[in-house]
Amino acid sequence: MADSDLPTDKRLLLLDATDNVLVACVALSPGTALTIDGEAVTLADSVGMAHKLARRDLAAGVAVIKYGAPIGSTTAAVPKGGHVHLDNMKSDYIATVNETTAAVYDGKAT
C-alpha cells in the first residue's frame, strides 16, 4: 500500500502523491493531534493555514517536494508533522529572506 493510500487528517492536503510535504487547510495549534499517512502525530508548533508540514522525517539538505516538483531544500532536519517554513528551508532558485538573515533581494543585502 502506498503512503498516499493511508489515512491522513482531512485538515491536511496532499497535492501530489510524490510530495514530502502536506498543506494545512486550517490554522493548527501546538498540541493538535493529526494522522499523517496512518501515523499519529502531535504538533509541536503552530502551523498557519496554507503552510507546509513535513509528511515524513526530512533530513537537512533534502529537496522539499510540493506539487510533485522541488520547491527548495531543508536547511535543518524537520520531523514528521513539523512546520516547513523559512526557518528550516530555503529556495534553491531565488534568494531567501527570514528573521535570521539580512534582508536580501536578488542576492544583494539591503
How far apart are the C-alpha atoms of 71 and 86, rounded to whole Å? 12
pTM higher than 0.95, yes or no? no
CA distance 40 to 16: 21
Q: Are strands 21-24 and 12-13 parallel, antiparallel or unpaired?
A: antiparallel
Instruction: Write the pLDDT tens digit of every residue in 47-90.
Output: 999 999 999 999 999 999 999 999 999 999 999 999 999 899 99
Q: What are phi and psi of 4, to 5 degrees?
A: -70, -10
Q: What is the pLDDT of residues 37-59, one digit of tens each?
A: 999 999 999 999 999 999 999 99
The CATH number covering residue 57 comes to 2.30.130.110
Taking the C-alpha atoms of residue 17 and residue 68, their distance in angstroms, rounded to an integer, is 7
Which residue segment(s) compose the domain that 69 sits in?
3-109
Structural domains of the chain, count: 1
